[in-house]
Amino acid sequence: MNKHPVKILVVDDRQDNLLSIETILEKEQYMIVQANSGRAALKVLLQETDFSLILMDVQMPDMNGFETASFIYQREKLKNIPIIFITAHTHEEEAVYKGYHVGAVDFIHKPVNPQLLRIKVGLFVELYRKTHSLQEQEKSLLEANAQLQREIAEKEASALKIRELNRQLHRSNTHLKKVNEELDRFAYVASHDLQEPLRKIRVFTDMIRSKTDNNADLEKYTAKIAEAAHRMQQLVDDLLRFSRHSAQGWDFVEADLNEIVKEAVSELEINIQQTQASIQVDPLPCIPVIPTMMRQVFNNLLSNAIKFRKKQEPPVVHIYARRQALEDAGIATYQIFVTDNGIGIDNRYLEDIFAVFKRLHSYQEIEGTGIGLSICKKIMEHHNGSISATSEVDRGTTFIIGIPEKQQLKDLQAF
Write out pLDDT tens, residues 335-347. Answer: 999 999 998 887 7
For residues 217 and 224, give the distance between their C-alpha atoms in angstroms, rounded to a whole number.
Answer: 10
Q: Give me the mean pLDDT over the 340-361 stretch.
A: 72
Task: Please check whether residues 127 and 271 belong to one and the same domain.
Answer: no
Task: Please check whether residues 119 and 254 belong to one and the same domain.
Answer: no
For residues 256 and 357, give the distance between their C-alpha atoms in angstroms, rounded to a whole number.
Answer: 31
Q: Give me the mean pLDDT over the 240-259 stretch.
A: 67
Q: Mean pLDDT in the chain?
A: 80
In percent, how much of the chain has pLDDT > 90?
A: 19
Note down the domain range covering 341: 250-415
Q: Give me the mean pLDDT over the 86-101 stretch.
A: 71
DSSP string, 149-214: HHHHHHHHHHHHHHHHHHHHHHHHHHHHHHHHHHHHHHHHIIIIITHHHHHHHHHHHHHHHH-TT-
Terminal-to-terminal C-alpha distance of the chain: 79
For the cut 90, the answer to whether the pLDDT of residue 292 exceeds it is no
Mark which of 137, 172, 192 sits at the end of a domain: 137
253 pLDDT band, cuts 50/70/90, is confident
Q: Give the domain CATH number at 130.
A: 3.40.50.2300
CB 395 within 8 A of CB 371: no
Task: Please check whether residues 254 and 381 belong to one and the same domain.
Answer: yes
Task: Please check whether residues 128 and 256 belong to one and the same domain.
Answer: no
369 pLDDT band, cuts 50/70/90, is very low
Task: Please check whether residues 267 and 388 belong to one and the same domain.
Answer: yes
413 pLDDT band, cuts 50/70/90, is very low
pLDDT the model gives residue 370: 55
- Residue 11 buriedness (CB in 10 A; 0-12 / 13-18 / 19+): buried
For the cut 80, the answer to whether the pLDDT of residue 190 exceeds it is no
Which of 66, 116, 70, 122 is closest to 89 using CA atoms?
66
The overall pTM is greater than 0.95: no
Residue 104 lies in a domain: yes
Q: Give me the mean pLDDT over the 74-79 stretch.
A: 86
Residue 12 lies in a domain: yes
Which of 373, 333, 368 is closest to 352 using CA atoms?
373
pLDDT the model gives residue 239: 57
Task: Please check whether residues 260 and 132 belong to one and the same domain.
Answer: no
Mark which of 120, 137, 154 sits at the end of a domain: 137
Residue 23 lies in a domain: yes
For the cut 60, the answer to whether the pLDDT of residue 192 exceeds it is no
For 142, other C-beta atoms within 10 Å of its C-beta total 10
Residue 57 lies in a domain: yes
Q: Give the domain CATH number at 414.
A: 3.30.565.10
Number of structural domains (the chain) is 2
For residues 275 and 291, give the distance between their C-alpha atoms in angstroms, rounded to a whole number.
Answer: 27
Residue 380 lies in a domain: yes
More confident residue, 411 or 390: 390
pLDDT the model gives residue 314: 92
Beta strands in 353-409 (DSSP E): 386-391, 397-404
DSSP secondary structure code for residue 256 in this structure: E
pLDDT the model gives residue 279: 93
Residue 364 lies in a domain: yes
Task: Please check whether residues 388 and 255 belong to one and the same domain.
Answer: yes
- Bridge partners of 398? 339, 390
Query: Angle formed by the axes of helices 114-188 and 15-25, to 10°?
Result: 70
Q: What is the pLDDT of residues 7-18, one digit of tens each?
A: 899 999 999 888
pLDDT the model gives residue 357: 47
Q: Where is mean pLDDT largest: 34-48, 122-136, 176-190?
A: 34-48
Mark which of 107, 137, 167 sits at the end of a domain: 137
Cα–Cα–Cα angle for 134, 26, 68, rounded to 5 degrees: 60
